[in-house]
Structure 1
Amino acid sequence: MDENLWLVVGLGNPGPDYSGNRHNVGHMVLAQLADGLRANFKNHKTAASVAEGRSAPGGPKLVLAKPNTFMNVSGRPVAALLRFYSLEPSHLIVVHDDLDIPFDTLKLKVGGGHGGHNGLRDIIAATGTGDFIRVRMGIGRPPGRQPAADFVLHDFTSAERSVLPNILTDAADAIEYIASDGLTAAQQRFHAPS
């Protein structure tokens, strides 16, 4: 396995109808990261759109992947990408929305369960492990009695969209930092003080 190679998967749903949804923040982060790496997404045989790049000459190579499947069946493309690039799950970074974290908050962790997130649930089932790095993008809880499933499939509010670019940039920077300096260093740099 190439220790200088990382698979970064951004979770979301395919198609323009979902592009601005809270559930698609993983796709948004990867678009931001691809822009910074000057990398273009192309269809890959693993049922994903893939872009590859390095943030610095000789630095870690990042394979950015957006499964072309719906969120709840993300596992098959992720497992296929790990096999294609001969990577272990320890070199997998999954970017996803998280209801249990306030909006405008970024959390980085390794391992754990799926926490009710169906995309993570399917990846864990397909890869046989939860031992991969997660970039958890806080979207907050739904207001009032709105069901969580409806909340995640709605676009960010105009107030949220005004600060979203900064959050996406922070997440993209954190991913590059994880690949170059490790998870602990990234956590120290990107987690807000409690």
Structure 2
Amino acid sequence: MAANSVTANRMQLTSAQKVICVGVLSFLSWLGSYFALPLFFGVDFVFSSVFALLAGLLFSPIIALVVGVIGASYTLWLWGHPYAWLIFSLEAWLVSLLVWRLRTNLVLAAGLYWLVIGAPLVVLTYAFGLGMESGSVLFVAIKQALNGIGNALLAGALLLCFAASSRLRTGFGLGLIKLKHVLFFTFMII
């Protein structure tokens, strides 16, 4: 969903409601890492960036970074190194920044992040920081990129659900749902 669907009148929530909302998104982001979907051989899909990206769409890139740092913090224990935490935190901030500054689509911004910054960082940190073999490093880079783009799809779909509710749409200052957004997310998810 493009950033222009978040209007200039962004929030109708009170300050206390905003703090509660950011707290809930942070907790959900942390749970998204905690309840990782194990695939095989220590490879897990994590869902923390869904809520970090949602925070970026609803609030700001800085809030996305805060939620992303909290959500990805569980990966420090899960995988025993700080690289995923750093890369996932940067993802939340930079993808949100791209959406806000360039008024681009969330999924396209996530794809750009993983192509230009995320995957190269995975290759550098996992190859040199962890000493992994090149085949394993490329596999992890592709897996994390697909994970991040999939999470962007989920975050965009959740935002569409929020916009479908008149109460949430008003509370968060969201615009009306556009057919092109519904079609885009439907086709991308399929």
Q: Looking at secondary structure, tell me which structure has more helix per residue.
A: 2
TM-score normalised by the chain length of structure 1: 0.29
Q: TM-score, normalised by structure 2?
A: 0.29
Task: Flag the structure with larger Rg.
Answer: 2
* Structure ranking higher in strand proportion: 1
